[in-house]
Amino acid sequence: MLADRIEGKWLDAFCEILERCAVKRGDTASELVQNHMDDTVNLNQMLIALLNKNPDAFVDSNVNRLKAGAKLQMPDVQEARKISKADARQQVIFTLREHEFLPKIGS
């Protein structure tokens, strides 16, 4: 519906201005950080920066369990760059394994 697309674009622009975004049911952290990335950081770095900046927006500190209705303050690339790519990857994999999204090796 055209009204929904217009509202969505308006909301995206408004969120960018405020750098704060309200999570809607079905939103994913990956989708939300995409517009805030550049080629100097990867998705894992942005996800961990988002988690670090908004710990109360996630269930059990799991980047895959974003709370609907949470108000997010989006990280910028400078914040994400402070997290090494290796550390970010390790944290995301640990979270996925802890919450059984990935099998544990050797189990």
Give the pLDDT band (50/70/90) at residue 22. confident
What is the mean predicted confidence (pLDDT) over 62-91? 94
Q: What is the average pLDDT value for the chain, to the nearest integer?
A: 82
Give the model's pLDDT for residue 92: 92
How far apart CA 28 and CA 23 sit, in angstroms, is: 8
Give the pLDDT band (50/70/90) at residue 35. confident
pLDDT in tens, 78-99: 999 999 999 999 999 988 777 6
Burial of 2 (0-12, 13-18, 19+ CB in 10 A): exposed
